[in-house]
Amino acid sequence: MIKFIEVEDTLPLRNTLLREGKLTLDECRFPTDSIESNFHLGYYIKGELVCISSFAPQKYGEFTGTGYQLRGMATVEKYRGQGIGNQLINFALIYLRGQKANYVWCNARKRAIKFYQNVGFEVISPEFEVPGIGPHYAMYVKLQ
């Protein structure tokens, strides 16, 4: 079941799945978490939060219209490869289309490129390094 959740709900999974459990929960907050109209989605299985993603209005480069940045996308390891992340992003894309957003973008880890391509994103930047995390590409999907 997919639900809108609070940023606080996302912090433990952000830490364990995206930051190797090395940070405090407060350090797992993104600056974009305090932007108005940001939102967080969670996928629950039998009451357990197993997949998260966060979205905030943010422009990318020269793109026109309302852009949203996707951040903090992660699925608990034992639930990966079952289409849960795919469903969560598709839910967000449909919701944001309804909100009249024009595009969604993200800085994707190299290993997750195919996952984002599966839901319509395309690569829009050369490879770049995020210190301590690894190679990334900016990716984008047009909504309308």
Ligand X SMILES: CC(C)(COP(=O)(O)OP(=O)(O)OC[C@H]1O[C@@H](n2cnc3c(N)ncnc32)[C@H](O)[C@@H]1OP(=O)(O)O)[C@@H](O)C(=O)NCCC(=O)NCCS
Q: Which is nearer to ligand X, 18 or 141 (CB)?
A: 18
Nearest residue (CB) to ligand X, 65 versus 134? 134
Is residue 89 within 8 Å of 68, Cβ to Cβ? no
Helix (H, G, I), strand (E, B) or coil at 31: helix
Asked if residue 136 lies in contact with residue 130, where contact means CB atoms within 8 angstroms, the answer is: yes
Least spacing, CB of residue 141 vs ligand X, in Å: 14
Name which of 38 and 69 has its Cβ closer to ligand X: 69
CB of 100 to ligand X, least distance (A): 25
Q: Nearest to ligand X by Cβ — which residue? A: 83
What does the block give as tokens for 112? 């997750």
Q: Least distance in Å: CB of 109 to ligand X?
A: 4
Query: What phi, psi does 120 have (nearest 5°)?
Result: 100, 0
Neighbours of 94 (CB within 10 A): 11
**Of the two residues 27 and 77, which places its CB atom closer to ligand X in the complex?**
77
CA distance 14 to 49: 12
Q: Smallest distance from the beta carbon of 126 to ligand X, in angstroms? A: 17
Judged by the rule CB under 6 A, the positions of this chain that interact with ligand X are 17-18, 51, 73-75, 80-86, 108-109, 112, 114-115, 118
